[in-house]
C-alpha cells in the first residue's frame, strides 16, 4: 500500500496556506482534505487534535502532526514515506528537540 501526505485544511486558514505554499515549493504530492466539506475529515482532525478542529493537520503513515512546519513534514516523510520525497530535496538535519517532538506527536 502506498503512503500519502494527507493534508487536512479549511478555507481561509492562513496557517494552512503558509504550509501548503512551503510544501508545494518542495513539490510534495498533497492529498488535500477540506474539513468543512466532510464530517469524516473533521472527525479525523478532532481525533488527532484532542477534540479540536485545528488545521493544518498532516498525516503520513503513522505520523500525525497538528500545525507542523515544513521541516517537521519532511522529517516525518523521511521516516514514513521516503519514496514521496523528490530527488535532490535538501533534508533538514534531525536534532534532539525535533526527535522528541516527533515522538510526542506520534511520529
The pLDDT tens digits of the residues spanning 2-39 come to 589 999 999 999 999 999 999 999 999 999 999 999 99
What phi and psi values does residue 60 have, to the nearest 5 degrees?
Answer: -135, 105
Indicate whether 1 pLDDT > 50: no
Residue 7: all three cell numbers together? 493534508
Average pLDDT over residues 92-98: 57
Please name the residues in contact with 106: beta carbons below 8 A apart, sequence gap of 6 or more.
Answer: 62, 63, 64
Going from the N-terminus, what domains does the chain have, and what CATH number goes with each? 5-104 (3.40.30.10)
Cell of 37: 466539506
Q: Which of 42-46, 75-79, 85-89, 97-101 has the lowest mean pLDDT?
A: 97-101
Confirm whether pTM is higher than 0.85.
no
Which DSSP string do the residues of 7-76 spell out, in sequence order? EEE-TT-HHHHHHHHHHHHTT--EEEEETTT-HHHHHHHHHHTTT---S-EEEETTEEEES--HHHHHHH
More confidently predicted of 106 and 85:
85
Mean pLDDT score, 72-76: 93
Quick one: pLDDT at residue 21? Answer: 95
Task: Reduce the DSSP state of residue 55 to 3 states and report it.
Answer: coil
Q: What is the pLDDT of residue 90?
A: 74
Amino acid at each position: 500500500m502506498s503512503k500519502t501526505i494527507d493534508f487536512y485544511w479549511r478555507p481561509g486558514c492562513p496557517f494552512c496556506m503558509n504550509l501548503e505554499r512551503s510544501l508545494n515549493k518542495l513539490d510534495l504530492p498533497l492529498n488535500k482534505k477540506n474539513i468543512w466539506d466532510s464530517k469524516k475529515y473533521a472527525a479525523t482532525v478532532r481525533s488527532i487534535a484532542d477534540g479540536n478542529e485545528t488545521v493544518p493537520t498532516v498525516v503520513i503513515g503513522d505520523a500525525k502532526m497538528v500545525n507542523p512546519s515544513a521541516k517537521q513534514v519532511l522529517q516525518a516523510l523521511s521516516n514514513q514515506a521516503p519514496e514521496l520525497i523528490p530527488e535532490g530535496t535538501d533534508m533538514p538535519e534531525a536534532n534532539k528537540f525535533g526527535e522528541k517532538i516527533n515522538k510526542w506527536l506520534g511520529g
